[in-house]
Structure 1
Amino acid sequence: MFCWPALGGESQGITLLEAMAAGTPVVASDIPASRTMLTDQEAAILVPPKDHVALARALMRVADNPDKAQRMAEAGRRRAHDFTWSTIADRVLGYYEELLNEDELGGPYWSADADLIRAGGSSS
């Protein structure tokens, strides 16, 4: 089990992703960085920051329920997959392809420029 009692200031919960990728159930503070990573409530239990009683209860709930821990671990692995380099690269490539195919962005100039880029040319 991975316990992340963060108080805030983290821009992104990379350690949460690492724990989930390793198949570890997560109990974490309910702060923006956690919510960004943990959109699937099956993957983790979020507790209010600085609430040591809620944190202890959540940890005990996971420790006392191996089936729940296993479900959390599986959901965490699925969520962590959304952040693998290959998944992110596919998303970025998809955005670029969408932009290159979007005639409304710049009208005919954009389309002509996109054709040049695809052909390996330059617009200048």
Structure 2
Amino acid sequence: MTLEPLLSASPAIQIHAFAALAALGLGAVQLGLPKGDPRHRLVGWAWVGLMAVVAGSSLLIHEVRVWGPWSPIHLLSVWVLIVLPLAVLAARRHQVRRHGRTMRHLFLFALVVAGLFTFWPGRIMYAVAFGS
């Protein structure tokens, strides 16, 4: 394992990867914390910020191209940028079940599932984890 492929990547990729790793760790912690208390809100706001950075920075990455500079992963990024504020709005409206379900889906699909695809052979995270 070596960080060299990531550290030699573009700043957008570096920001994206480190924000995603931080969001993955913080999200896992958040899932285990008691819900609704001030600590949950603080960690939640940090996680929302990290997810916005992850989704926003991905729009600057064009390594995989399907439609011009875009790929299906960019659709996921747009979805995250739309759904993230809706999940926060659900919490503010005390729609606890909707908020929790949406946040869990964001964590699972936008971080875990999408993150697994970064370990596809030929991708930067594959080279980080397994060498080139």
Q: Which TM-score tier does this pair reach, normalised by the shorter chain?
A: 0.3 to 0.5
Larger radius of gyration: 1
> Is the strand fraction higher in 1 or 2?
1
> Is the helix fraction higher in 1 or 2?
2
**TM value normalised by structure 1:** 0.38
Of structures 1 and 2, the one with the larger relative CO (CA 8 A, separation 6+) is 2
**TM value normalised by structure 2:** 0.36
